[in-house]
Structure 1
Amino acid sequence: MRKFIYTYFLVLGFIIVNHLQVVAQELRCNVKINASSNQIASNVGTINDTQIFTEMQRAMTQFMNNTRWTNDNFKDSEKINCNIVITITAIPGVGQYEAQAIIQSSRPVYGTDYESVVMSFVDRAFRFTYNPGEQMNYNEAAFTSNLVSMLSFYANIIIGLDYDTFSKVGGTAYLQKAAAISTLASQESNDDSWKPNSDTRSRYWLGENLNSPQMQSFREGLYTYYRVAIDNYAANGDQARSQILTFLNNVKQINQIRPNSIWTNTFFDTKSNELINIFSEGNPQDKVKAYNLLVELDPTKADRYRKLTR
């Protein structure tokens, strides 16, 4: 009897653990708060208690990782790796914070231990309120706070772009959710970064670009870049480079319709080093083609791309 009971609980434990692995939340997000008192302009006096930033960091991390963002089941190994680094720049009042945030996500490359960065975006107007013990809950139909809206917006952007890299425009539903969050926040908050008259590198324009029909072929190209080319790069580098050149030529056509778009700039900010490494291993003809395209599409990094001509 004891042997039967032991076997029963062993099997039950295995089922529970296996189930938890299958329905694990979608993100493996690392949130870091940088808050050096000598770098912060504060209207509330000297910052002596840094515990608030530790709690803030923990609360944001738990919100990103414990919220169920999709109806899909994720194994633990399938979670999307992402980082949010928030640098506090000012504290205009009690519980009020102004900051810059870097939002980055990556995905594994098939058959390797290499992680390819999918998104690296700098939010220069990351403004929010936070008070110790504050509950953060996601409700896609309601605005609760600017902080919850910003984190929810980026969670859906991260998931949408990740899905795009595995199936053609597979992340549409989540990019549309991000746009809906942006629209609601623009109506309910005083944050101009949600509005169309904001800085062209704002959250509004990031969401607009990723949902614009004019940019759909760019999103379709993400599948070509990652799933077709990068995932097969180790097996056939020449073919992968040829496919990436086709993708870059497509981006060139898109750039004529939407010049200097935030998503085009963000893509090359994210991928420039990777593209240089990929084409550095190619034949001279592909290097020249890549150099000419990259300098035209991303002229601010021309000096960096010049490595391809040496």
Structure 2
Amino acid sequence: MKKGIFLLLLFGVSQFLSAQELNFTVIINSDRARIQNTTIFTQMKTSFEQFLNGRSWTDDEFRPEERIQGNLLITINDVPQVGTYNATVQIQTVRPIYGTNYESLLFNFADRNWNFDYIESQPLEFNRFTYLNNISSLLAFYAYIALGLDYDSFSPRGGSDFFAAANDIVNNAQQSGRQGWVQSTSDRRSRYWLNNDIYTSSVFSPIRDAYYLYHRQGLDILLAEPDKAYENILEAIRILAEANKTQPNGIFTITFMDAKSDEIAQVLKDAPLEIRTEAVELLLEVDPNNARKYNELLKS
């Protein structure tokens, strides 16, 4: 198992283990669609949830309580013709923190350009090595990204295999010419650039180490070893600052801060002054839009 080694009795093991790794809730906002027959969106929700939650994405065994919790909020912006949809997607996943009932927001990403075709009762087929449609490709891409970041947060670069799978999806989907999959300097918040920063870029890939330091060596030990935890959280921030200094406003840097800015401002309140002082200096460079909340740390 990815989160620990468990000694299990062979008898009855199967009743405790679940092959599925994800537990996503899909929410579809169709207020802008102006479609009278909204049952299509109910079917869409069921179909998408089954695709994400009903299959095995890894060879690992997950207990039900270990499944990665997430939300997929789909806003239908336009229906240019019957069966064709233009939408935005907000993807969020959380990670439990050891020894607490707290869940930390791990991934928070807004995909602003998703157009897809869907008809009633459409089966969703998927092949990692072949582009079949723009629904299964997008859902599978974010499934692998969610898995990759979750595994990275538990072991150093533990999510590499999942990011490799996400990279395959991006490469295959480029033949479609659809927005989000192709390189575009005008749209840096896209699947293409997210994949590039995580999997390809030597500048941003160290942020994967920040996920491990911040979560496994930071939040997970904060109650037991606060001094060590605060230093590791600070080191994670240093890694982000270094990446941002080399190449400002990378989507992987932004994605980390979109998930963590509020939490960092809360977690560091009780950190030693020297930790808070350096952290604020770095955070103001990486995430100046949230300067007010970071400056509050110096008033504690």
TM-score scaled to structure 2, two decimals? Answer: 0.92
**Alignment check: 8 A CA contact 2:217 2:229 kept:** yes
- Pick from 17, 30, 45 the counterpart of residue 57 of structure 1: 45
- Pick from 221, 230, 239 the counterpart of residue 232 of structure 1: 221
**Alignment check: 8 A CA contact 1:186 1:192 kept:** no
- Pick from 19, 22, 26 the counterpart of residue 21 of structure 2: 26
**Alignment check: 8 A CA contact 2:19 2:60 kept:** no
- Structure 1 vs Structure 2: percent identity of aligned residues? 38
**Alignment check: 8 A CA contact 2:209 2:236 kept:** no
Q: Which runs of 5+ in 2 are unaligned?
A: 1-10
Q: Which runs of 5+ in 1 are unaligned?
A: 1-13, 41-45
- The 1-side partners of 2:203 and 2:280 are apart by 25
Partner of 2:207: 218
- Pick from 114, 129, 144 the counterpart of residue 102 of structure 2: 114
User: Are 1:195 and 2:190 an aligned pair?
Assistant: no
- The 2-side partners of 1:286 and 1:141 are apart by 46
- Pick from 274, 284, 290 the counterpart of residue 301 of structure 1: 290
Shift of residue 242 of structure 1?
A: 1.4
- The 1-side partners of 2:20 and 2:282 are apart by 39
Shift of residue 29 of structure 1?
A: 0.8
- The 2-side partners of 1:294 and 1:256 are apart by 12
- The 2-side partners of 1:35 and 1:251 are apart by 37
1:235-283 deviation line (CA, Å, top 9, x unaligned): 1223211111122122222222222100001111110011000111223
Backbone CA RMSD of aligned residues: 1.4
Q: Which moved more, 1:220-229 or 1:250-259?
A: 250-259
**Alignment check: 8 A CA contact 2:241 2:283 kept:** no
Q: Which has the higher helix share?
A: 1
Aligned pairs (5 A) from 1:1-310? 15=12, 18-36=13-31, 39-40=32-33, 46-187=34-175, 189-197=176-184, 199-211=187-199, 212-310=201-299
Partner-residue secondary structure (3-state), 1:125: strand
Amino acid aligned to 1:32 = I
TM-score scaled to structure 1, two decimals? Answer: 0.89
- The alignment covers a number of residue pairs equal to 287
Shift of residue 139 of structure 1?
A: 1.1
**Alignment check: 8 A CA contact 1:28 1:80 kept:** yes
**Alignment check: 8 A CA contact 1:67 1:138 kept:** no
